[in-house]
A and B are shown apart, each in its own frame.
Chain A
Amino acid sequence: MENFEFINAIVLLSNFVIVPALSYGSQLALATLSLTIIYGVLRFSNFAQADWMSFGTMATILFTWLFQSIGITAGILPTALLALPFAIIVTALFCLLIDRSVYSFYRKQKSQPIVLMIVSVGVMFILQAVVRFIIGPNDRKFFDGEKYIVHALDFKNYFGLEEGLTIKSTQLITVIVALVAMISLFYFLQKTKLGKSMRAYSNNEDLALLSGINPEKIVIVTWIISSILITTAGVLYGLDKSFKPFTYFNLLLPMFAAAIVGGIGSPIGAVIGGYVIAFSEITLTYAYKKFFVYLLPENLEPSGLMQVLSTDYKFAISFIILVIVLIVRPTGIVRGKII
């Protein structure tokens, strides 16, 4: 009996903390990576990044609807995965258009990062308008295919436990896609010539120019990579939860928090930061009462909810961590300014 209690506690924790945090963390890590790439190469904090995320997701939803209407689906997988590459192309093209018409002017002038940041606020407004204009401000679900891999009820019956474990297919897809994307990104940055020249450009612009690296090419590649990452992150988040422009805009701050916590400009830091923020958001607001009821003998059982912070503050946790990191270790977990 003692053993079962322990297993029940672990299953409970996995179901409500570990699995959701892992998938949210992967989504956040991808989004933060794209923010970091922009910061590292183009040298500004892009306030429009969360709205690029909505834009990419919106494009994916539109393609998904198109595919569904002509009868193409991906079977047990969500159709959105088929639509994703097309949406990435659209997002990247739009990114490049905005870069040509807006950002390139300030790059040529060698404006200060803060000016580019204010410019990105303008882009943020325009993107918000475009997204809301095309798809509206409402909540949209675009998930189809098989919903669960492991269902709580089946799990309970199969193992004869009191607690069930649910794994949604979107959670597994998220983790797998995120892993593939991260590994390819790191491979690209470390092993390919283009990736190396990107890092060189990020590290020292003048030296990179002297060695014959074409800056325009680097800028284009940066926007493309950023679009791939941000669209993927947005689609994974939307499949897992749902798509709503305002919710996506609110992800901007967790993204920034993750970037700074990890060490701004460092891709590995971005990934670590993403998971740190996701896990803290969920572990700090989870009520551990039931968990301890399983683990502790009856006379020691807790009376309160055993919650560090009320769920009301879930949204604020990332900023609290951000502030603590800024005080204690402003360089972030992974020290570094270059990608």
Chain B
Amino acid sequence: MNEELRAPVAFTVMAILLAIVGFTQSWSVSLSVINLCIISSIMAIGVNLQWGYGGLFNAGVMGFTALGGLTAVLVSHDPIYEAWDKAGIGIVISAIIFVLTVTALLFVFRNIENKQIRNTLIILIIVFGLIGINNFYGPSIDIIESINPAKTGFLGGLGLPIIFSWLIAAVVAGLVAWVIGKITLRLRSDYLAIATLGISEIVIAVVKHEDWLSRGVKNVSGLDRPVPYEIELQQSEWFLNLVERINFSKLEAMQSLSSRQDLLNDLVIDSSGIFVKLCYAGLFFSFLLLIFYLSQLALNSPWGRMLRAIRDNEEAASAMGKNIFAQHLQIFIIGSAIIGIAGAMLTTLDGQFTPGSYRPLRFTFIIWLMVIIGGSGNNLGSIFGGFFIWFIWIEAEPLSIGFMNMLAGGLEYDNPLRMHLLGSAAHLRLFIMGLLLLLALRFMPRGVIPEKIQKK
């Protein structure tokens, strides 16, 4: 097919698929899928900047997503003053000792030539640092975690509106990416993948087990929302009027007043859910557009051209005087910051932060599929990939169950084979994902919406 036509066709197909879900399942389901599709697209753009434009394989997407989620909690949750009063100082002191230890280590590492002295010093610094931190850290976290453990048991956050966290998440993820990039970006491409995969696991381990910071696996729920609550909508005059006006003909058709009132109540409950999801969709979509616009702008600038030059031929770019490492670090930070934003959005949408739910398959490899199948090096492709793969990921389950039912059609209800087939239908979606990736790599290696080769 003509490459110019691919994008419009792909997006039309996507819209039709979502509409089918809306008509056959419900619009509420369709909107939930769309919201997650948008968030996935933003993540995919972040990965696409790193891989499609920078040629960096970041397998630590999960870590940055979790950091974004953590930021959402730390920004929006009310501070727990009691915890701060009793043990905040201990945490602050251990943080200071930690920073001092790392600074001392870096100083020794860079400035002392003699290997023997250097190694002894490093060991001494680590031992004293650990002792110092343990003295303050252990007792303080015990105190913090003992304060109302069923409800809080952590330091809480800043108590700001959650929407701020989206921007702060970018800063946090970017800072962490800077540290990680400094360590890993000098490595070969597949080392980089392994290292980032490992580091993202470390991030998850910290978020999961440092209860004073994130409540760990006890989860933080009931985060505040940037959009109205359903219950508020159902009680507000203007919303009732709006629903009444939209469904005027339906209501007119009702005979008695009481059945009319019942129908109105049902409609109000349904529409309040849809309205909230629409608000989210609008909010997310405007962010998606903004991020898309900014990335397109950046990538069509001289800076973007330089990045592509580095990706296509590192030696030549280096010979032209470009600093490869610095450019890689830049794009790594920017891409990770975008992933962080998406992570914060995800936690905002869920209204809760559940560290136990971060799994590499769902948060790293699926995002990679989106980028590769969508078309690496093309932001529009990543958006399409985000929509398409997430759609498949969600809809694969009902489809697999249907497929298995068909397969087991002739068998009796309690036939063990039938039970097994239906029980394992959920795993079929992993198979579909793998197959899609392999087929795309083999027959459409540049993706559905390929990168435009600019010729001049």
Complex CA gap A117/B430 in Å reads 18
Complex CA gap A123/B201 in Å reads 22
Please name the residue on chain B nearest to A117 by beta carbon. Answer: B190
Q: Report A-chain residues with C-beta under 8 Å of the C-beta of B57.
A: 114, 117
Verify A256–B198 contact, CB threshold 8 A: yes
- The listed residue (B189, B198, B423, B430) touching A125 by CB distance below 8 A is B430
- The listed residue (B202, B428, B437) touching A320 by CB distance below 8 A is B202
Are A326 and B191 CB-contacts (below 8 A) given A253-B198, A318-B198?
yes
- Asked whether any CB of chain B lies closer than 8 Å to the CB of A136, the reply is yes
Q: Report A-chain residues with C-beta under 8 Å of the C-beta of B411.
A: none
- Asked whether any CB of chain A lies closer than 8 Å to the CB of B441, the reply is yes
Q: Report B-chain residues with C-beta under 8 Å of the C-beta of A304.
A: 134, 138
- 10 A-B contact pairs sorted by A residue (CB < 8 Å): A102-B438, A117-B193, A119-B441, A122-B434, A122-B438, A132-B424, A316-B205, A318-B198, A319-B202, A330-B186
Q: Report B-chain residues with C-beta under 8 Å of the C-beta of A319.
A: 198-199, 201-202
Please name the residue on chain B nearest to A43 by beta carbon. Answer: B190
Binary B-proximity of A159-182 (CB < 8 A = 1, otherwise 0): 000000000000000000000000
Please name the residue on chain A nearest to B435 by beta carbon. Answer: A126
Binding site for A on B (CB under 8 A): 57, 130, 134, 138, 183-184, 186-187, 189-191, 193-195, 197-199, 201-202, 205-206, 208-209, 361, 365, 368, 372, 423-424, 427-431, 433-435, 437-438, 441-442
Binary B-proximity of A91-130 (CB < 8 A = 1, otherwise 0): 0000000000010010000001111011101111111111
Give the top 6 A-B pairs by smallest Cβ distance, nearest first.
A125-B434, A319-B198, A129-B431, A126-B434, A122-B437, A312-B209
Q: Report B-chain residues with C-beta under 8 Å of the C-beta of A44.
A: 190
A326 CB to closest chain B CB, in angstroms? 6
Q: Report A-chain residues with C-beta under 8 Å of the C-beta of B199.
A: 319, 323
- Asked whether any CB of chain B lies closer than 8 Å to the CB of A327, the reply is yes
Are A125 and B433 CB-contacts (below 8 A) given A114-B57, A118-B441?
yes
- Asked whether any CB of chain B lies closer than 8 Å to the CB of A228, the reply is no
- Asked whether any CB of chain B lies closer than 8 Å to the CB of A61, the reply is no
B107 CB to closest chain A CB, in angstroms? 15
Please name the residue on chain B nearest to A310 by beta carbon. Answer: B209
> Interface extent on A, as a size class?
35 or more
Q: Report B-chain residues with C-beta under 8 Å of the C-beta of A186.
A: none
Please name the residue on chain A nearest to B194 by beta carbon. Answer: A256
Q: Report B-chain residues with C-beta under 8 Å of the C-beta of A119.
A: 438, 441
Verify B431–A113 contact, CB threshold 8 A: no
Please name the residue on chain B nearest to A316 by beta carbon. Answer: B205
Complex CA gap A119/B184 in Å reads 23
Q: Report B-chain residues with C-beta under 8 Å of the C-beta of A256.
A: 194, 197-198
B4 CB to closest chain A CB, in angstroms? 27
A324 CB to closest chain B CB, in angstroms? 10
Please name the residue on chain B nearest to A116 by beta carbon. Answer: B190
Are A136 and B423 CB-contacts (below 8 A) given A105-B442, A125-B365, A253-B201?
yes
Complex CA gap A115/B445 in Å reads 10
Verify A113–B441 contact, CB threshold 8 A: no
Complex CA gap A112/B188 in Å reads 12
Are A323 and B193 CB-contacts (below 8 A) given A133-B431, A312-B205?
no
A26 CB to closest chain B CB, in angstroms? 22
Q: Report B-chain residues with C-beta under 8 Å of the C-beta of A127.
A: 434
